[in-house]
């Protein structure tokens, strides 16, 4: 890959896998990293993620976080970054989730209390 820091002029690029991943899958992977399995119950704003081992609700839909103009599909198109910069993603979404959760767990373990993290 070329040195992408040496562009003649600044521009905007989308760095993405070009693969869509449902939020539910992202959440399931995140909980898997902590040793938990999620089961989905309900639909729409009543949908909840239940920890299979404990039966506790650990994920719930909160309409306060809906976008004003919600879309059904979000998909990053890295074509321009590939063409102009020669950039290609090397980390899958699954691996990204693993890295994010492991880093969060590392920060939490290093904190005196979870509140500090």
Q: Is residue 69 part of a domain?
A: no
Domain limits at 106?
A: 23-64+74-116
Is 108 a member of any domain? yes
Give the CATH number for residue 52: 3.90.25.10
Residue 12 placed within a domain: no
What pTM did the predictor assign? 0.78
Distance separating alpha carbons of residues 117 and 84, to the nearest angstrom: 39
* 90-116 confidence digits (pLDDT tens): 999 999 999 999 999 998 888 766 565
For 43-64, write each residue's pLDDT tens digit.
Answer: 989 999 999 999 999 999 998 9
Domain count, the chain: 1
In a domain, 1, yes or no: no
What percent of the chain lies above the pLDDT cut of 90?
Answer: 67
CA 71 to the chain's CA centroid:
17
Question: From CA 114, how far away is CA 96, in angstroms rounded?
Answer: 22
Asked whether residue 3 is domain-assigned, the answer is no
CA distance 48 to 102: 24
């Amino acid at each position: 890959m070329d040195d992408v820091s040496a562009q003649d002029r600044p521009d905007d690029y989308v760095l993405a896998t070009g693969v869509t991943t449902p939020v539910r899958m992202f959440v399931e992977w995140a909980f898997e990293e902590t040793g938990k399995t999620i089961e989905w119950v309900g639909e729409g704003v009543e949908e909840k993620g239940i920890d299979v081992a404990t039966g506790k609700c650990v994920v719930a839909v909160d309409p306060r976080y809906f976008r004003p103009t919600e879309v059904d599909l979000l998909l990053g198109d890295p074509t321009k970054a590939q063409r102009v910069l020669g950039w290609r993603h090397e980390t899958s979404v699954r691996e990204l989730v693993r890295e994010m959760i492991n880093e969060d767990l590392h920060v939490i373990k290093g904190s005196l209390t979870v509140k500090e993290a």
